[in-house]
Every structure is written in structure tokens, then in C-alpha cells.
């Protein structure tokens, strides 16, 4: 079955919109870190809301295609969820502007930002899950493959972004202090971050129509992160060449995924490769989730490179074993989700008969 071109382009653009949103969000964190003027009307915010409008317009198109042109519900229903996610984000924009006017500059975690990231996740989920189901029953094309990879990467990044909201000590605003308890931040990061990467990679491996899913997803993730948080910050940029070494993890996973092994074995190895290295993969922001629990106060100026150098042995030694288990758990969850998504293929087969 060939997916109608209009719908393929719509999914491609809603995925691109989601990636612009999370990329702009990362850039906004860097903007805060550089202590540049903070108002609602900043370049990072412009990128975020350009992505919001793109996703919203494609979500509305999905509604039109379903109502006026009778496109099949199974193909457009996930696209329509972008209307809800984008509406949340547009609301958060007005909320954020009001927040700045009444409470001055804010931190990373604020009510408007929490609503914004929730909308990001919903938009990315709309594209990723919708395309995962579509890929099982349609002929893969280059636009469809591109849309799938972009949507999965946006979902991966926005999921990590939600964790960062509640773990980074950058949430003290002009009048409100939403910084998390240091130990809570370290524990939450240790539990959640090792799960997310293996989950996304294993789910991508089971649903994406690409030859090397782990490498493709991680390359795009790293490209956005490197551009918006590493290269964009002068004191962190020298670490870029070391950060790029993380791609070797993806090469190793793709090698394993192509072997004739049981799914449970592939899940175990994928989790064991990706999970324990969350501290290097989510550099530079993740380093701040652990600094206060290690006795390094936020008020002390320290570059992220030196912070990483002074903490990585302690953090990775303490988290390595649990991160392997949590990575395996993430991979197993991905297999369960993939089986659920695949039920649409069985349904279509029965329906065609």
C-alpha cells in the first residue's frame, strides 16, 4: 500500500516541527546559561514557536483530510493529536509572556515551561507512533523514512528534556525557586535517563524502515544536541570532538541488531551498551543533575567540561550496574510497545481478506 503523498508530507513536517521545538528548547537553555537578555521574544523562542505553528498546521491538515477527504482514520488519527500538543504550547507561550511580565525572569522549570515540554512530547509522540504504525502497512519511501527518523528523534529528545526540567538546578527565577532537591535530582536522573535511550533505539529498530536505526537516530540526536548546547557555548565547544565518540555506541548496537539472536538477547545487549553511558550521551546538561549531590554548589562557577572531568568517574561508577539493568528494562518495554503497534498489521491483513 502506498501512503497518499499529502499525508506523507504532513507527517514529515509535523516531525520537523517537533524537532524544531526541542532544538529551540535546548538552545533556550544555552541562552539562559550565557546570561543573555531573557524575554519572551528571543531567537530560541522564535525557533520553538515556529516549530509549534508548523506542527499545529499539519495537525489541522490531518483533521481536514479526515473530515473532508475521508482519509482513513488509522492513518490520520495520530497526526490530529498534534493539534492538542500545539495548542498546549501556544497556551504556554501566552502563559510564559504573562509570567515574565509578573514575575521577571524565570528558571528552567516553571509552570509555562512544563506545559510547553508536555506539548512537545505529545507532538513528537503523534508523529512517532503514527508513523510506526503506518510503516508496517505501507511501502517505505524516502520522505516516510525521513519523517519517521525525525519524529523518533524529537520524541527521544523531548522525553530527556522533561527529565532535565526536574533534575537540573537552573530553576531559580527572580522571585520563585523551583530547583529540585539535589538527591532527588540525582536519583531521578539515574533511574530515568538509562531507560530512555535503549527504549527509543530498540523501538526504532523494530519499527523504522531504515538499515541502521541505532546509528541513524543517535546521529540526528547528537547533531541537534551538539549544535544547540555544545557548539553554541564557547566554554563547552572544545568538548565537541569527545562528545562525538558516542556514535561508536550506536555502531555497536546496529551490529548486534543484525545478528541472529533472540529478541531478549538483543534487548539485554542494547540496554547494556546504551544505558550505562547516559552520562556521556546527554552531556553537557546531565552533569548538572549530579553536581549538588556531589557537593559542588551551583553558585560556584565551573565550566561543564571541568565539571564532567571532576564527576564522571564517581557518577559512572555508582550508576553503571543499575544503568545496565535499567537499559535492559527500557529495551524490553520497547519490544512490548512494538508488539502492540504491530497489531495494526494483523488487523489490516484480516480486513483485506
CB 12 within 8 A of CB 150: yes
Between 54 and 267, residue with greater pLDDT = 267
The residue with cell 571532576 is 310
Instruction: Look at residue 39 in the predicted model and tell me its pLDDT.
Output: 57
Q: Using 50, 70 and 90 to split pLDDT, how confident is the model at 348?
A: very low
191-207, pLDDT tens digit by residue? 999 999 999 999 999 88
Q: CA geometry: angle at 193 spanning 231 and 154, to 5°?
A: 60
Q: Cα-Cα-Cα-Cα dihedral of 57, 62, 63, 64, to 10°?
A: 90
Distance (Å, whole) CA 116 – CA 157: 14
* Number of Cβ within a 10 Å radius of residue 137: 16
Whether 352 shows a pLDDT value over 60: the answer reads no
Whether 187 shows a pLDDT value over 80: the answer reads yes
Average pLDDT across the chain, whole number: 84
Instruction: Look at residue 200 in the predicted model and tell me its pLDDT.
Output: 94
Whether 349 shows a pLDDT value over 60: the answer reads no
Distance (Å, whole) CA 139 – CA 254: 23
Distance (Å, whole) CA 38 – CA 40: 7
Between 60 and 149, residue with greater pLDDT = 149
CB 87 within 8 A of CB 114: no
Q: Which 3-state string (H, E, C) describes the chain?
A: CCCCHHHHHHHHHHHHHHHHHHHHHHHHHHHHHCCCCCCCCCHHHHHHHHHHHHHHHHHHHHHHHHHCCCCCHHHHHHHHHHHHHHHHHHHHHHHHHHHHHHHCCCCCCCHHHHHHHHHHHHHHHHHHHHHHHHHCCCCCCHHHHHHHHHHHHHHHHHHHHHHHHCCCCCCECCCCECCCCHHHHHHHHHHHHHHHHHHHHHHHHHHCCCCCHHHHHHHHHHHHHHHHHHCCCCCCHHHHHHHHHHHHHHHHHHHHHCCCCCHHHHHHHHHHHHHHHHHHHCCCHHHHHHHCCCCCCCCCCCCHHHHHHHHHHHHHHHHHHHHHHHHHHHHHHHHHHHHHHHHHHHHHHHHHC
Whether 69 shows a pLDDT value over 90: the answer reads no
Instruction: Look at residue 28 in the predicted model and tell me its pLDDT.
Output: 75
Between 323 and 97, residue with greater pLDDT = 323
- Across 145-160, average pLDDT: 89
Least confident of 56-65, 66-75, 220-229: 66-75
Between 99 and 153, residue with greater pLDDT = 153
Q: Using 50, 70 and 90 to split pLDDT, how confident is the model at 112?
A: confident
Instruction: Look at residue 314 in the predicted model and tell me its pLDDT.
Output: 95
Q: Using 50, 70 and 90 to split pLDDT, how confident is the model at 74?
A: low
Chain centroid to CA 175? 30
Least confident of 9-23, 60-74, 265-279, 302-316: 60-74
Whether 232 shows a pLDDT value over 60: the answer reads yes
Give the start-to-end residue ranges of the domains of the chain: 1-180, 181-353
Q: Using 50, 70 and 90 to split pLDDT, how confident is the model at 19?
A: confident
Whether 326 shows a pLDDT value over 90: the answer reads yes
Q: Using 50, 70 and 90 to split pLDDT, how confident is the model at 32?
A: low
Instruction: Look at residue 280 in the predicted model and tell me its pLDDT.
Output: 95
Whether 104 shows a pLDDT value over 60: the answer reads yes
Whether 353 shows a pLDDT value over 50: the answer reads no
Whether the bond between 284 and the residue before it is cis, its omega within 30 degrees of 0, is: yes
Among candidate residues 169, 198, 199, 146, the one with its CA nearest the CA of residue 294: 169
Question: Any residues with CB less than 8 A from the CB of 18 and at least 6 apart, and which?
Answer: 51, 55, 120, 123, 124, 127, 150, 151, 154, 155, 158
Distance (Å, whole) CA 166 – CA 217: 25
pTM of the full predicted structure?
0.86
CB 158 within 8 A of CB 121: yes
CB 100 within 8 A of CB 106: yes
Distance (Å, whole) CA 216 – CA 254: 10
Between 172 and 161, residue with greater pLDDT = 161
Amino acid at each position: 500500500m502506498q501512503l497518499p503523498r499529502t499525508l506523507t508530507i504532513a507527517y514529515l513536517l509535523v516531525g520537523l516541527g517537533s524537532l524544531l521545538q526541542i532544538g529551540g528548547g535546548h538552545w533556550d537553555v544555552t541562552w539562559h546559561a550565557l546570561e543573555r537578555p531573557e524575554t519572551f521574544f528571543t531567537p530560541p523562542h522564535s525557533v520553538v514557536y515556529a516549530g509549534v505553528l508548523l506542527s499545529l498546521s499539519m495537525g489541522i491538515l490531518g483533521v481536514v483530510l479526515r473530515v473532508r477527504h475521508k482519509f482513513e482514520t488509522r492513518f490520520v488519527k495520530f497526526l490530529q493529536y498534534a493539534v492538542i500538543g500545539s495548542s498546549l504550547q501556544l497556551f504556554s507561550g501566552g502563559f510564559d509572556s504573562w509570567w515574565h511580565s509578573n514575575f521577571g525572569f524565570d528558571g528552567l522549570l516553571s509552570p509555562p515551561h512544563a506545559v510547553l515540554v508536555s506539548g512537545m512530547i505529545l507532538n513528537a509522540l503523534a508523529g512517532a507512533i503514527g508513523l510506526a504504525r503506518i510503516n508496517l502497512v505501507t511501502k517505505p519511501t524516502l520522505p516516510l523514512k525521513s519523517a519517521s527518523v525525525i519524529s523518533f528523534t524529537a520524541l527521544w529528545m523531548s522525553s530527556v528534556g522533561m527529565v532535565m526540567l526536574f533534575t537540573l538546578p537552573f530553576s531559580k527565577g527572580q522571585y520563585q525557586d523551583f530547583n529540585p532537591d539535589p538527591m532527588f535530582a540525582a536519583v531521578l536522573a539515574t533511574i530515568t535517563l538509562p531507560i530512555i535511550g535503549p527504549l527509543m533505539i530498540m523501538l526504532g529498530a523494530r519499527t523504522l524502515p531504515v538499515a541502521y536505526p541505532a546509528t541513524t537516530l543517535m546521529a540526528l540526536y547528537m547533531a541537534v544536541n551538539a549544535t544547540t548546547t555544545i557548539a553554541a557555548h564557547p566554554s563547552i565547544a572544545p568538548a565537541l570532538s569527545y562528545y562525538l565518540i558516542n556514535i561508536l555506541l550506536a555502531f555497536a548496537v546496529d551490529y548486534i541488531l543484525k545478528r541472529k539472536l533472540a529478541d531478549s538477547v538483543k534487548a539485554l545487549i542494547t540496554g547494556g551498551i546504551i544505558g550505562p553511558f547516559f552520562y556521556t550521551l546527554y552531556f553537557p546538561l546531565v552533569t548538572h543533575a549530579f553536581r549538588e549531590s556531589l557537593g559542588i554548589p551551583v553558585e560556584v562557577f565551573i565550566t561543564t567540561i571541568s565539571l564532567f572531568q571532576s564527576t564522571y568517574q564517581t557518577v559512572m561508577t555508582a550508576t553503571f550496574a543499575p544503568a545496565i539493568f535499567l537499559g535492559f528494562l527500557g529495551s524490553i518495554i520497547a519490544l512490548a510497545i512494538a508488539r502492540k503497534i504491530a497489531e495494526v498489521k494483523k488487523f489490516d491483513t484480516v480486513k483485506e481478506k
